[in-house]
Amino acid sequence: MLYNLLLILLIVDGLVLTGVVLLQAGQGGGLASLGGGTTDLVMGGRQAVTILHKASWITGSVFMFLALLLSIVASNRAVGESEVQRRLRQQTPTQQQVPAAPLQTAPGPAPGQPAPAPSPVPPPPPAPRP
């Protein structure tokens, strides 16, 4: 629940931050001013702080804070089993549940013939001849 709420707040804040940055007017500064522009822009030309400038700092800070908080919540989140993993575990029998197949030492009866009845007592061995 908390994870989803933080994720929604992060997405909304990212959209607001995008809009605020795109609404700001270009200053003509940045890297272009280092190659031959006037030095007052680079060294100390103080510019008026507009509401969009403050809003970009605030929304950027909130975005970074929410991203950090979201990563902490996600790392502490218990990783559960998905429904597919649970079903696969139930279908796969463990070795203890699989019955051992009986060993066949003698060949079985041919198809269509009745099986011989097992004898309860083995036949006696033949008597020795003198």
Write down the pLDDT at residue 94. Answer: 58
In a domain, 115, yes or no: no
pLDDT in tens, 12-63: 999 999 999 998 877 655 555 555 555 555 555 556 678 888 999 999 999 9
pLDDT tier at 9 (50, 70, 90 boundaries)? very high
In a domain, 74, yes or no: yes
In a domain, 114, yes or no: no
In a domain, 9, yes or no: yes
Rounded Cα–Cα distance for residues 116 and 109 (Å)? 8
Q: What is the domain extent for residue 10?
A: 1-26+49-78
SS3 (DSSP) at 59 = helix
Q: Which amino acid is at 93?
A: P
Write down the pLDDT at residue 87. Answer: 84
In a domain, 21, yes or no: yes
| In 24-127, alpha helices (H) | 39-43, 51-76, 83-91
Region of residue 18 (phi > 0: left; psi between -120 and 50: alpha; otherwise: beta): alpha
pLDDT in tens, 66-97: 999 999 988 887 666 677 878 888 876 655 55
In a domain, 8, yes or no: yes
In a domain, 130, yes or no: no
Write down the pLDDT at residue 30. Answer: 52
For CA atoms 34, 36, 40, 45, give the dihedral sign: negative
Q: In the chain, how many domains are there?
A: 1
Q: How much is the pTM?
A: 0.48
In a domain, 62, yes or no: yes
